């Protein structure tokens, strides 16, 4: 994640992710004594939820951005902690073979493609034998209306297309294998979701999250990019008139 993220603003605009918490937990729920790592924990709402599910265990949120870590630290529970580190360096801040479960929500698509194998290797290192890696991030085809419109805005400002890693399931499968995991036939999948959004919620998401995929290089260009994106917000409506967006989640559920 970029250092330009703003933790408080991100937290206020993340309701569309929180609406998917139960969908994620239904696939794999931690045990009450599990030691859990939330990789790319963001502003910590889901991390705190996990801490409540493991009263005899512990949860560590790992996040690279200082302002986002500061926002996450507002969640105070006795079995909950946070540390600042990139996903690629997870095994620098967590002991090898010490974790029962590594989860990651809406974070791994911000990691460059060339770093994904290293990230998966770090996860495998910190998991105990039999430990589980459960992640969901944006996959190929995610938010197609947003990408098309904002790519066009970026091109008009001389910026490159979105810089974000939307993997296909086959890419993720092979990267997991290269990192030492042995995924089964149901362990890597892409799931399309219609996420309800109001115009204000979509505006907040564009301003606090989507903008980072284009990385405007200076404040003036960033301001122009956002102004033009906001002016074209109505182009992101569905044919039925709603501002709902189609998300594609790449879900990983593999055992060490």
Asked if pLDDT for residue 154 goes beyond 50, the answer is: yes
The predicted structure's pLDDT at residue 67: 86
pLDDT value at position 217?
78
CA angle 6, 8, 11 (to 5 degrees): 105
pLDDT tens by residue, 8-47: 555 666 678 888 999 999 999 999 999 999 999 999 999 9
pLDDT at 8: 58
Q: Which CATH class is domain 7-143+164-196+244-255?
A: alpha beta
- Spatial separation of the C-alpha atoms in residues 212 and 15, rounded to whole Å: 18
| Closest to 72 in 3D by CA, of 118, 139, 132, 6 | 6
Rounded Cα–Cα distance for residues 116 and 91 (Å): 14
98: nearest Cα among 136, 60, 55: 60
Q: Residue 87's pLDDT is what?
A: 96
Stated as kind and residue range, the H or E segment containing 210 is: none
Does the structure show a pLDDT above 80 at 80?
Answer: yes
Q: What is the pLDDT of residues 208-251, one digit of tens each?
A: 888 889 987 788 999 999 999 999 999 999 999 999 999 999 99
For β-strands 127-138 and 245-255, DSSP reports them as: antiparallel
Q: Is the pTM of this model over 0.75?
A: yes
Q: How far is CA 31 from CA 56, 250, 255, in A?
A: 9, 24, 15
Is 80 exceeded by the pLDDT of residue 156?
yes
Structure tokens given for 200: 């204000």
- Of 50, 48, 62, nearest to 91 by C-alpha is 62
The SS3 of residue 130 is strand
Question: Tell me, what's the pLDDT at 12?
Answer: 62
* pLDDT above 80 (res 7): no
Which class for 243: exposed (0-12), middle (13-18), buried (19 or more C-beta within 10 A)?
A: buried
What residue spans define the domains of the chain?
7-143+164-196+244-255
């Amino acid at each position: 994640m970029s250092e330009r993220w703003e933790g408080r603003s991100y937290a206020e605009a993340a309701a569309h992710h929180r609406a998917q918490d139960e969908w994620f937990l239904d696939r794999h729920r931690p045990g009450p004594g599990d030691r859990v790592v939330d990789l790319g924990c963001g502003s910590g709402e889901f991390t705190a939820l996990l801490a409540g599910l493991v009263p005899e265990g512990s949860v560590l949120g790992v996040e690279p951005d200082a302002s986002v870590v500061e926002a996450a630290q507002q969640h105070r529970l006795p079995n909950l902690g946070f540390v600042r580190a990139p996903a690629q360096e997870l095994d620098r801040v967590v002991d090898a073979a010490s974790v029962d479960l590594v989860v990651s929500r809406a974070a791994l698509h911000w990691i460059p493609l060339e770093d994904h194998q290293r990230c998966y290797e770090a996860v495998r290192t910190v998991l105990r034998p039999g430990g589980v890696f459960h992640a969901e991030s944006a996959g190929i085809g995610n938010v197609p209306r947003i990408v098309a419109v904002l790519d066009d805005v970026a091109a008009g400002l001389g910026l490159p297309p979105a810089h974000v890693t939307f993997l296909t399931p086959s890419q993720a499968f092979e990267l997991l294998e290269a990192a030492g995991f042995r995924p089964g036939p149901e362990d890597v999948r892409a799931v399309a979701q219609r996420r309800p959004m109001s115009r204000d919620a979509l505006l907040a998401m564009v301003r606090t999250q989507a903008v980072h995929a284009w990385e405007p290089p200076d404040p003036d260009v960033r301001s122009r990019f956002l102004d033009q994106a906001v002016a074209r917000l109505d182009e992101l409506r569905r044919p039925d008139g709603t501002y709902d967006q189609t998300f594609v989640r790449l879900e990983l559920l593999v055992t060490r």
